[in-house]
Chain A
Amino acid sequence: MASSSSSGLTFKLHPLVIVNISDHYTRVKSQTNPPPLTSTSATVNGVEHQQQAPRVYGCVIGVQRGRTVEIFNNFELLYDPSTHSLDRPFLEKKQELYKKVFPHFYILGWYSTGSDAQESDMHIHKALMDINESPLYVLLNPTINPAQKDLPVTIYESELHVIDGIPQLIFVRSSYTIETVEAERISVDHVAHLKPSDGGSAATQLAAHLTGIHSAIKMLNSRIRVLHHYLVGMQKGDIPCENSLLRQVSSLLRRLPAIESEKFQDDFLMEYNDTLLITYLAMFTNCSSTMNELVDKFNTAYDRHSRRGGRTAFI
């Protein structure tokens, strides 16, 4: 069912959407399988503890600019198991509410949880087609697999393919990138790594900042090593040469140095000097404050005799 999409649209997904879907799923799961209560309210005894994974459904909203589709947010929807479709008036109500707060966002598609796209999903997909001609289907796989390295989120689009002489809609997988706003990145970082929340000393702030950059550089390094390893293998002849990959790598390398122009150097140095200036000024302020304190202490200690305020303490 899934081949690669050919629509040419680029998708950008915000982490908020992922956390939202995960939260929705966790909520519904814990509500249907209530945790064993330690108190005496014995309502839980008869509950079957099958860990059924409930499927949750919802709508994704965002912005489409030209060929780029950016998914910003999402909200929950009700699923009607008898008609295999989503509750339409509910969707419209919610859409209205969200329009008031985020007037720029449109409904881009819908989401669900599960391990793979199913046939019944196509009904829901078709139902949404009157709101958006080419809706997206975002699927999150909630099973926690410690071995997997990739994000268990897939985006499907629908395409009209002719199978056995009948044009049918099938799901095709599309690639996406993760896009964040700076504030989003900081709060995701904050929650993910539980950094020291209070100000702390300058040393801890510095450590936190540098640790973040260090981890990012480590990732970059490891990715480059993988590429390098692959290329060495190709050179030795262990791996068959793949020209398209070689072209990509070569174009990547040709992009270094990233910027090299007179104007950039000037601007960069100017920014550097500005920061140094600020540091200088801060040092000045610090020094004058310390001097002030020193003089005050001196006065308090030695100037007790002259009660008149004639002699000024401040230079």
Chain B
Amino acid sequence: MDSAIAQKTWELENNILTVETPDPSSDSIFYYDETAQAKFQQEKPWANDPHYFKRVKISALALLKMVVHARSGGTIEVMGLMQGKTDGDAIIVMDAFALPVEGTETRVNAQADAYEYMVDYSQTNKQAGRLENVVGWYHSHPGYGCWLSGIDVSTQMLNQQFQEPFLAVVIDPTRTVSAGKVEIGAFRTYPEGHKPVDDPISEYQTIPLNKIEDFGVHCKQYYALDITYFKSSLDCHLLDLLWNKYWVNTLSSSPLLGNGDYVAGQISDLAEKLEQAENQLAHSRISPLGPSRKKEESQLAKITRDSAKITVEQVHGLMSQVIKDILFNSVRQSNRSPNEQSGPEPMVEA
């Protein structure tokens, strides 16, 4: 009884909407209506309202492709394009593909051969039955969070001038693996000089010290969109069946081992931030009290939150390890009920 109440409370807290299992008739989202799309392109309702697009719907396939590609890059940033369509105030991403671009901090712009690749790929796709157009680009920020850097902002502003409707998506594969949930963000920039009317509270995420300046300078120039995911009925069915096979992988995953260096990096970053906070504290001793005090408080509070996050992830990883240890390492010699797993028995001859 208790567990049922607990579950209800949890669901309520998190606004879990039970999505009905998509049946074949609701797969209509996969249908590409050329005429409606062309009409929408001509109308350009986004030209008047910079905050026009509010939601993003990503298909299961696109998400999987993007995350796998981002992860395969390791610590190098990778990028790619997304294909899809629009639907009212939502951008729908149906598919994604990778671009052969080597991304560095200063060069995540696509170069000439990448453009050629884009054109070739789009053409072959159209032939093969994928009719959607490119609606955005994605790239990865391995280890340092989902936000747009200065270069990203200028790239996106350019895109939004000439290739509307366009969306920017950022994925952090390292944090995904470490936290056990997908770290992804979808953004659109405001045009030059536009001041956002309301300041939406975005979810706090920790940014490493060497990037925090870049983040702070540009964070007001873009806004985040809500992301939801969808999948087809066949996908649903297959994924359910897939669970039968890969529960083994769930049990055998060891996040502690895989992410050791990332965690070490986070901790050293936290230590630097602490030192910085301490220095600021020392300086403000002399300066008059008031607003400067408030800033350090929030700095220290931020550090606390970061440390809590790192700890929670570590503890989760340790829990998995301990559970596995109990399951597979402690051999119990029991003469109790035959339901218990006992040690190796001699083979029974017929």
Contacts and interface: CB of A to CB of B under 8 A. Distances in A.
B176 interface: yes
Interface of A: 15-16, 18-20, 22-31, 34-35, 37, 39, 41, 56, 75-78, 90, 93-94, 97, 100-102, 142, 144, 146, 148-152, 177-192, 194-210, 212-213, 215-217, 219-220, 224, 228, 232, 234-235, 240-241, 243, 246-247, 250, 253-254, 256-260, 268, 271-272, 275, 278-279, 281-282, 285-286, 288-289, 292-293, 296, 299, 309, 312-314
A28 B128 CA distance: 9
A-B pairs with lowest CB-CB distance, top 10: A35-B28, A183-B71, A241-B350, A76-B128, A258-B328, A100-B100, A282-B311, A192-B239, A219-B247, A282-B307
Interface in B316-350: 316-323, 325, 327-331, 338-339, 341, 343-345, 347-350
Contact of A268 (B204, B307, B325): B325
Q: Is the interface of B mostly helix, strand, loop or mixed?
A: helix
Interface stretch (B46-54, B56-64, B104-112): B56-64
A208 B191 CA distance: 39
B300 A192 contact: no
B55 interface: no
Given A219-B244, A253-B343, A254-B344, A28 B129 contact: yes
Interface residues of B, number: 122
B35 A41 contact: yes
Given A207-B10, A282-B311, A183 B304 contact: no
B210 interface: no
B130 A216 contact: no
A241 B348 contact: yes
B308 A181 contact: no
A149 B64 contact: no
Given A177-B245, A314-B281, A271 B321 contact: yes
A185 B246 contact: yes
A59 B247 CA distance: 28
A279 B318 CA distance: 12
A199 B61 CA distance: 23
Contact of A206 (B67, B251, B316, B349): B316
B315 A185 contact: no
Nearest to A284: B307
Interface of B: 10, 13-14, 16, 19, 24-25, 27-28, 30-33, 35-36, 59-61, 63-65, 67-68, 70-71, 94-95, 97-100, 117, 120-121, 124-125, 127-131, 173, 176-177, 179-182, 203-204, 227, 229, 231-251, 253, 255-256, 258, 267, 274, 281, 285-289, 293, 297, 300-301, 303-304, 307-308, 310-312, 314-323, 325, 327-331, 338-339, 341, 343-345, 347-350
Name which of B100, B179, B246, B328 has the most chain A CB atoms within 10 A of its CB.
B246
Contact of A18 (B67, B131, B204, B238): B238
A178 B300 contact: no
